[in-house]
Structure 1
Amino acid sequence: MPLTHIALRSGRPESYRMSICDGVHRAMSETFNVPENNDFLIITEHEAANFRYDATYLGVARSDDLVFIQITANNTRNVEQKKALFQRIAQLLSEDPGLRPEDVFISLVEVERENWSLGHGLAQYA
């Protein structure tokens, strides 16, 4: 049950933003066994003054096309699955909408299954 927050600079067309959502969801389906209908992604756009990043941290040359992707998911995946997810997201987003892999910044936040309520105030996975 991933919940994904995607942040980018404002001004991109809807098709660009939807390509990012589609690529991230596809990568999660392929590498994390996320069902097709488990589709919960939020996009926020930010003006330049509200979107800060280091352009060369750890030797990665980032540009203003940088996209932050934060995925909150159950802590049930191993290191190999996580690496596969990161690689697949970067690959798919380089294909469409054409992001450079250097501009794909991913953070995975893992939580226990009982920490979700998907509606009705219930802990569906507890």
Structure 2
Amino acid sequence: MPFVNISLARGKSDQYLAAVSQSVHDALVAELNMKPDDNFQLIHQHDPGEMVFNRGFRGGPRSDDWIVFTIDDDLDRGERAKRGFYQTLVRLLEERAGVRPADVFVIMTVVPPENFSFAGGVIGTDVAAAESLEATAKAPGTRDTYTRAEMVYAVTQLFRNRDRGPILPMLRDDVVLTLPTTLPYGGEFTGPAAFDDFFAKIPGGGAVWKSFDTAVDDVLAADDHVIARLTNTAVLKATGRTVVFQNLWLFGVAAGRITTAQLYADTAATTGGSPG
């Protein structure tokens, strides 16, 4: 996700601005493998005296047509790719807009994905994880491991939207699901099918709860686990009583796959006692 700020002297024609804009975008696509529709730019035009620069420091000679590109990206593309980008950029600018290579100044900054939110208050790591998992789903069997960010996204989707799609490919074939034995539906279950069956419906299959709604408080990850803290609002089928209670899910991780899923809960809520 590159975000491009372009700063230049005021007074350029619309055709010049369009050529500059298209040149930097085409260079990003060609050399840094940006998606063609990933195009976000702001063009800043400055009056005389608002652009202060040395005409000959580390380059030049610079003219009044000095132009600055400040590019924020969520990945470090590497030195080789950046060399290619700089060279392609100055070539396209000269060919299309008549910009002298000596007048082209570029600053590239790596901004972590979590520092982006593209729209709707969604953190950039979730967007990147969703895109990556969507691509994987179109080519099943091509991946054996998943990143921490992808697992956080998958766990969040599991509880927030009851969407099992992202997490199921991450499960190891011998994944173990453990529920407190004090729950009516407690026990230990093995395999992705058992995992999928449990999360496909209300916990216990509707025998305990008339309804069961979950809010995700937070999802945290380390190298060997992912933790989801939840607040649940549920209606007991036996009494019709509404209870609000918190619980925690601990997902064990090894070699980029989920190996275990364990529920930690105050089980008094299921009997109509204090939910804790």
TM-score interval, normalised by the smaller of the two chains: over 0.9
Render the CA deviation track for 1:23-58: whole Å, top value 9, x for unaligned.
000000001111111110110100011111110112
Aligned to 1:45: 45
User: Which residue of structure 1 aligns with residue 267 of structure 2?
Assistant: none
State the secondary structure of the residue aligned to 2:38.
coil
The count of aligned residue pairs is 126
SS of the equivalent of 2:23 reads helix
1:50-84 CA distances to partner (integer Å, 9 max, x unpaired)?
A: 11111011242100011000000013311101111
Structure 1: which amino acid aligns with 2:28? M
The sequence identity of aligned pairs, in percent, is 29
The TM-score, its normalising length taken from structure 2, stands at 0.45
Cα RMSD (Å): 1.0
More strand by percentage: 2
Q: Distance in 2 between matches of 1:67 and 1:37?
A: 24
Establish whether residue 111 from structure 1 lines up as the match of residue 103 from structure 2: no
User: 1:121 maps to which residue?
Assistant: 121
| Bigger relative contact order (CA 8 A; separation at least 6) | 1
- With over 3 angstroms needed to count, the CA separation of the structure-2 counterparts of 1:19 and 1:59, relative to structure 1, is closer
Alignment of 1:63 with 2:63, yes or no, is: yes
2:105 is matched by which residue type in structure 1?
F
Contact 2:73 2:109 in 1 (8 A): yes
Q: Write the letter of the residue equivalent to 1:47.
A: D
Whether 1:12 and 2:15 are equivalent positions in the alignment is: no
Inter-partner Cα distance in structure 2 for 1:87 and 1:101: 9
> Are 1:22 and 2:22 counterparts?
yes
Does the residue aligned with 1:68 lie in a helix, a strand or coil? strand
Match of 1:80 in 2: 80
Cα 1:18–1:116, aligned 2, differ >3 Å: closer, same or farther? same
CA distances 1:92-118 after superposition (whole Å, capped 9, x unpaired): 101010101001100001111221100
Which aligned runs of 4 or more in structure 1 are off by greater than 2 angstroms?
none
* Aligned twin of 2:91: 91
SS across alignment from 2:97: coil
Partner of 2:257: none
For structure 1, the 5+ residue unaligned runs are none
- The alignment status of 1:2 with 2:7, answered yes or no, reads no
| Match status 1:34 vs 2:17 | no
Structure 1 letter corresponding to 2:17 = R
Shift of 1:88: 0.8
Distance 1:83 1:117, change over 3 A: same
